[in-house]
Amino acid sequence: MNLAIIGLVFDIIGVFILTAVAIIDYPHQRIFGEKEWWKRYWWQGWRPAYRNTKTLKWHIKLNSMVVRYGFIPPKHQWNIIGFLFVLIGFVLQLKSYLY
């Protein structure tokens, strides 16, 4: 398969991710009371498969929502992923035209 076509597919996926993130704003909040350079955020995220801590068995529950913590809010995480898809697509297209 041609690298230009693969790059175009990566670009389309990246633009779709960036557009979806711009339309759907995922709610998150900052955890206060910590040092300014040690920012942490929390949000409620979907986790369909989880492991029970008492029985150590895996369960599947499609409407399972858990509180998740992280250094980067979910909106910024998806923006980074979308930008990387666009960047990889651009590099693949550029590489196909140079060789």
Taking only the tens place, the pLDDT of each residue in 39-48 is 788 888 778 8
């040690």: which residue's tokens? 38
Q: Which of 21, 30, 32 is nearest to 79 (CA)?
A: 21
Residue 38 above 90 pLDDT? Answer: no
pLDDT (0 to 100) of residue 85: 97
* C-beta of residue 4 within 8 angstroms of C-beta of residue 93: yes
Q: Domains of the chain: which residue ranges?
A: 1-26+73-99, 27-72
- Beta strand 40-46 with 29-31 is antiparallel
pLDDT recorded at residue 49: 86
Q: Give the span between the Cα atoms of 8 and 92, in whole angstroms.
A: 8
pLDDT band with cut points at 50, 70 and 90 for residue 37: low
pLDDT band at residue 88 using 50, 70 and 90 as cut-offs: very high
- 99 vs 9, which has greater pLDDT? 9
